Amino acid sequence: MAVGALIGAYQEDDIGELRALLPLAGRTLIDYQVRCAAAVGTHPIVVVVERVPQALQDAFERLRLDGIPVFPVSDVQEAVSRFEAGASIMLIGDGIAPTADLVARLAHEAEPVVLTVPDDEAHGAYERIDGESRWAGIAVVDAHLLGSTAAMLGDWDLQSTLLRRAIQEGAERIPAAAQGSEPVLVQRAEDLNRLQRSLLDGSRGARTDWVSRFLLPPVEEVATQQLMETSLRPAWLIWAAAGLTAAAAVCFLRGWLGAGLILLLLSTPLDLVANRLAILRLRPLPLRSFSRLALDPLAGAALLALAWWETRTGHGWGALLAGVTAILFTLAAGVEKAGFPPDANLWLISRRSAIVGAIPFAVFGVWTPYLVILVVYAAASFFVLQNARHSDELTQS
């Protein structure tokens, strides 16, 4: 069954600003609400507005540029015309900030439901349903109910009237606590602080090596907080990392070894930050995009370029052989690691650990010993993984 979304964006906060425009994770509340709905495949997404200030228009434009069509309406009949007959509609109240997981669970409800919170002091700002419960701000209703409500609406509030009629027609009431989380009713910017912190913490991906676990988190955190307020697309950061790695290979070929290492170091947090920005915008990056898949081969090319420079500058073919051997062992380790959790062993070789491991050798200008140590590191990682895989197979047999 088709599921659409109807979101309110007309109530104001304590200082006369639209609640929908309160800041959240570098965007606005309406950005977040629409992205939550789009992430579970709802279509169309209709936003009920009374006026469209420039900031709200900018939010709609950002969403459209990200491939999320939004239909602002100020007339109830126009809202009705946007939905197909027989469709279900997820109603997200004005100023309501649900978790993405909660929206995903309710999107799969086959029958009309109304999410509730207790009628107590802590939930005094939520709309009362009866003496025991209040509306948590999310419901799933039938499209025919929206149509019949619009026909009798007059000057009544669409959101409240639709809620009342859904309850009168027997919509199931589900306590928000039973769904694992309560939506936040936002009346002022401070109400979103806790949710924003939760979103930032939840955007942290798996730490697959010791560099991303112990060294990069402060850089990653600051960069994410600074960039989440910009229009920068996360995919651009992946491409930037690939470009820096390719530029490092060119630097190594020309003998600019320090510059090459600096470029590689600059590339190390970019894919992590890109992943976090994409998660915050509820548009996760594909795991097998071309730019992401190119990172390791480009790093291998940079290592070969370094080994070739060392060979040309009098260190003999052993330097090139060490570079090639390190790459082969790293590839073999990657094959052996397939099937294990990405963060199974933080101390094994990775692109980032190989880059950071070069720093002390660069300080003393001894690059050929670095290549030899890298061979040992890659070989040790391979044999550790091979032993773990065979032990696992023996255990299973």
Report the distance separating Cα 264 and Cα 256, nearest Å: 13
pLDDT band at 33 (very low <50, low <70, confident <90, very high): very high
Query: What pLDDT, in 10s, does the model give residues 293-316?
Result: 999 999 999 999 999 999 999 889
Predicted confidence at residue 338, as pLDDT, reads: 87
Separation of alpha carbons 355 and 353, rounded Å: 5
**pLDDT over 70 (residue 115):** yes
- Would you state the pLDDT for residue 289? 87
89: left (phi over 0), alpha (psi -120 to 50) or beta: beta
Mean pLDDT of the 107-129 span: 93
| Phi–psi pair at 186, nearest 5 degrees | -100, 120
User: How high is the mean pLDDT of the chain?
Assistant: 92
Evaluate if residue 59 carries a pLDDT over 90: yes
Residue 166 pLDDT greater than 50, yes or no: yes
**Of 139 and 396, more confident:** 139
pLDDT band per the 50, 70, 90 thresholds, residue 34? very high
Omega of the bond leading into 44 within 30 degrees of 0 (cis):
yes
* Residue 154: predicted pLDDT: 62
Q: What pLDDT is attached to residue 394? A: 45
Residue that is written with structure tokens 């509030």 in the block: 157
CB distance 133 to 116 below 8 Å: yes
- SS3 call for 54: helix
Res. 246: pLDDT tops 60: yes
Mean pLDDT score, 242-249: 98
| CA–centroid distance for 374 within its chain | 33
Point out the least confidently predicted range of 138-142, 274-278, 297-301, 337-341. Answer: 337-341
Residues of the chain with pLDDT > 70: what percent? 97
Q: Which domains, from first to last, does the chain contain?
A: 3-195 (3.90.550.10), 203-396 (1.20.120.1760)
What is residue 395's predicted lDDT score, i.e. its pLDDT?
54
Q: Which pLDDT does position 397 carry in this prediction?
A: 39
In this predicted structure, which of 14-28, 45-59, 234-248 has the lowest mean pLDDT? 14-28
Confidence of residue 9 (pLDDT cuts 50, 70, 90): very high
pTM: 0.90
Region 313-339: what's the mean pLDDT? 94
Question: pLDDT tier at 181 (50, 70, 90 boundaries)?
Answer: confident
Pick from 25-29, 189-193, 229-233, 264-268 the range whose average pLDDT is largest: 264-268
Residue 155: what pLDDT? 53
User: Is the pLDDT at 15 greater than 90, yes or no?
Assistant: no
Mean pLDDT within 81-101: 93
Reported for 37-41, long-range contacts at CB under 8 A and 24+ positions apart, including other chains, are 37/5, 37/7, 37/90, 37/92, 37/103, 38/63, 38/68, 38/282, 39/100, 39/103, 39/104, 39/282, 39/283, 40/3, 40/103, 40/104, 40/107, 41/3, 41/107
Residue range 124-139, pLDDT digits in tens: 999 999 989 999 999 9
| Amino acid identity, position 113 | V
pLDDT band at 140 (very low <50, low <70, confident <90, very high): very high
The per-residue pLDDT for 224 is: 96
Amino acid at 176: A
The answer on pLDDT for 353 being more than 80 is: yes
